[in-house]
Structure formats: structure tokens, C-alpha cells
């Protein structure tokens, strides 16, 4: 990290949300990190070791199989080791909930499993000191009896199933993680892909104060927000703030895109290697809505050897862009 970047003080979080931060504010304008593996030696032994190797200043983890319904119990000793290390090193940590969760499904069993899975991620997130749990916003699976869209019914299901989980989240206390809604790439009958869709999703959850947003740059690009166009980043972030109000953007998944804008395909590329390009990520750092917001890369690593080389390269690229970015006003 350059000396110029290190000298920039971290902005204070919004006044109404400062109390829920679990770790001390990191001494960086925007911590940059990666989704890290945790198999073998666990959250600290594998996850944080990987983070240090690739230069990550923030991490995201799974606490369950992302493609299954199992809800494994954590190891209290490993949880505390991870939590303490993140606090000591000022590493903000996040959990990504499993991909199968979909409260818009027309199958009752899927909704029940979705609730159990999200509850598990929220509770495990609290146990490890995570600041947020990322949830894909889902889709309206199935057709209405008249053959039309199930969107309204699906959004009613979101309210019925997720709102009680938010009450449980409140019961965990002020250090509970945020629930972070991640708009999808617009494939299928997506409930939330465009920034303006976030307004209705938040309304369904009564604008709960512990619900935030995780912006995935590849998803936004795929959904039609042209981040590569002049002014595209600013317009996209302005639209997000207009839909949600200030202070809701809590995390960014920084991913380039293999496909064209509006393609509705969720295929991540390494930073600068895709159709978004590198410079729009510099513009992300400059928008007031991103002040202090961490960036997590979920970019391809296997094509670079699968040993973290790809993530290390992308993290270094983002740090370089951060060092050239103007400080948000």
C-alpha cells in the first residue's frame, strides 16, 4: 500500500449505524480483500493464512457448503481465534450465505430450507464477528395460476420469511451482522437486479435498519448498468442511493465481467481483463457512497494456478487504483 493511501483517514460510518460495527475502523479508505477458502485448517488456519498470502485487508467466507442445505455447527475455539485475529489486525470479515437460498420459490420445502440456512449464516456470522451476511436476492420461480408472473407473490414470501429472521437478528444485540442484499445479474425471473429494484425489496422488509446492500460490479454490469461508459459508475451508485437512501451500501464485490453490458450472465473476470475494465474501479473509490466500504474480489483464480496468484494480482490492482483515486468529498 502506498504511503499516500495509508495517510488518508478512514471516514466515520453513518451516525445511525456506527454502533453496530464490530471491529475497529480499518486505517484505510477502502479495505481490499478476497473471498478466502476455509477448508482443512479452518477459518483462521486456512482463511486468514490465505488472506495474508494474497495481501487481503478484508475477507469473506462461507460457513456452510454454498451449494447445499447442511447447517454445520461451528468450532467455538476456531471461531474465537478467527474473531480475535480479525479484531487485532483490523480485518473486516463477511459471510456469504449459500447460493440455494431463494425465498421467491414456489416450493414450500425450498422456502423452509432457505429460512433455516439463512438463520444459520446469520448466527454463525455473529459467532465469528462478521460485519455482514451476504444474501442473493432470489427469483420468482414458477408461474402464477393464470400463467403470469409470480413476482408479487414472491415478494410477499420474502416479507413473510425474512422479516422474522430480522427480528431474531435484533435479538442478537448491537454487534449482530447486517443482512446484505446482493442484486443478481438479471437472469431468469430475478426479484432484484437493477438498482431501482432495491427500493421494493427494502420496502418488503419494512426498511429494517440492519439491512444493507452488497453491490456486485459484474452483476450490475450484466443487469444493464454500464459501468464502463463515461459517468456510468457515478450514475449506478447515484441510482443505488436513490433507491435505498444513504448508508445502506456496506460491501462491494469487485469483479470484472466476461460478458457485455446487459447480457444477464454472471461470469466474473479478473480486474482489467473483462469488459468493465480497470478504470471504473478507480471511479468506485471516488464516489461518496463508497466511503469506507470494503471491496472483496470473487475473481477467477484457478486459471492462474489456484494458489491465490489471481486474487493477489487483483488485490494489488485495486490497491493501485485506490492510491490514484481522489478522496471522496
pLDDT for 144: 77
pLDDT of 5: 35
The sign of the dihedral angle between the CA atoms of 324, 256, 291, 87 is negative
In this prediction, residue 7 carries a pLDDT of: 37
**3-class SS of residue 35:** strand
3-state secondary structure of 199: helix
Q: What is the pLDDT of residue 327?
A: 79
pLDDT value at residue 304: 65
Q: What is the mean pLDDT of the chain?
A: 91
Task: Tell me the backbone φ, ψ of residue 299, rounded to 5 degrees.
Answer: -85, 165
The distance from CA 308 to its chain's CA centroid, rounded to whole angstroms, is 20
User: Which residue positions in the chain have pLDDT lower than 50?
Assistant: 1-27
Q: What is the pLDDT of residue 19?
A: 38
Helices H / strands E in the chain, number of each: 11, 10
pLDDT for 18: 38
Could you read off the pLDDT of 91-116 as tens digits, one per residue? 999 999 999 999 999 999 999 999 99
Alpha-helical runs (H) found in the chain: 3-6, 42, 49-54, 76-88, 108-127, 151-171, 197-204, 217-222, 232-244, 279-286, 309-324
Write the DSSP string, 267-309. Answer: -EE-TTTSSS-SHHHHHHHHSGGGTT--EEE----GGGTSSSH
Q: What was the pLDDT predicted at 28?
A: 59
Note the pLDDT tens digit of each residue in 162-174: 999 999 999 999 9
Entry field: residues in the chain:
329
What is the spatial distance between Cα 15 and Cα 280, in angstroms, rounded to a whole number? 29
Residues 6 or more apart in contact with residue 226 via CB below 8 angstroms: 232, 261, 262
DSSP 167: H
pLDDT given for residue 26 in this prediction: 42
Amino acid at each position: 500500500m502506498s504511503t499516500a493511501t495509508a495517510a488518508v483517514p478512514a471516514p466515520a460510518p453513518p451516525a445511525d449505524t456506527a454502533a453496530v460495527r464490530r471491529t475497529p475502523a480499518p486505517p484505510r479508505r477502502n479495505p481490499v480483500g478476497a473471498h478466502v477458502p476455509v477448508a482443512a485448517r479452518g477459518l483462521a488456519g486456512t482463511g486468514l493464512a490465505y488472506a495474508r498470502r494474497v495481501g487481503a485487508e478484508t475477507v469473506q467466507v462461507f460457513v456452510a457448503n454454498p451449494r447445499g442445505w447442511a447447517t454445520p455447527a461451528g468450532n467455538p475455539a476456531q471461531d474465537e481465534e478467527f474473531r480475535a485475529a480479525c479484531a487485532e489486525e483490523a480485518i473486516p470479515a463477511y459471510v456469504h450465505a449459500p447460493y440455494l437460498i431463494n425465498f421467491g420459490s414456489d416450493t414450500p420445502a425450498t422456502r423452509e430450507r432457505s429460512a433455516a440456512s439463512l438463520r444459520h449464516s446469520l448466527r454463525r456470522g455473529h459467532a465469528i464477528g462478521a460485519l455482514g451476511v451476504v444474501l442473493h436476492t432470489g427469483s420468482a420461480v414458477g408461474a402464477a395460476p393464470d400463467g403470469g408472473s409470480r413476482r408479487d407473490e414472491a415478494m410477499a414470501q420474502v416479507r413473510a420469511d425474512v422479516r422474522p429472521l430480522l427480528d431474531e437478528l435484533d435479538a442478537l444485540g448491537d454487534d449482530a451482522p447486517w443482512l446484505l442484499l446482493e442484486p443478481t445479474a438479471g437472469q431468469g425471473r430475478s426479484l432484484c437486479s437493477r438498482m431501482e429494484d432495491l427500493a421494493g425489496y427494502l420496502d418488503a422488509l419494512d426498511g429494517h435498519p440492519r439491512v444493507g446492500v452488497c453491490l456486485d460490479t459484474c452483476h450490475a454490469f450484466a443487469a444493464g448498468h454500464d459501468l464502463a461508459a463515461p459517468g456510468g459508475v457515478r450514475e449506478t451508485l447515484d441510482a443505488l442511493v436513490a433507491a435505498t437512501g444513504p448508508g445502506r451500501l456496506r460491501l462491494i464485490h469487485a469483479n470484472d465481467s466476461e460478458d457485455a453490458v446487459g447480457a444477464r450472465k454472471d461470469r466474473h473476470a479478473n480486474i482489467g481483463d473483462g469488459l468493465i475494465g480497470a478504470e471504473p474501479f478507480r471511479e468506485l473509490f471516488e464516489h461518496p457512497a463508497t466511503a469506507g466500504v470494503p471491496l472483496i474480489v470473487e475473481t477467477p483464480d484457478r486459471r492462474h494456478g489456484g494458489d491465490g496468484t489471481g486474487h493477489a494480482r487483483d488485490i494489488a490492482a485495486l490497491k493501485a487504483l485506490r492510491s490514484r483515486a481522489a478522496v471522496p468529498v
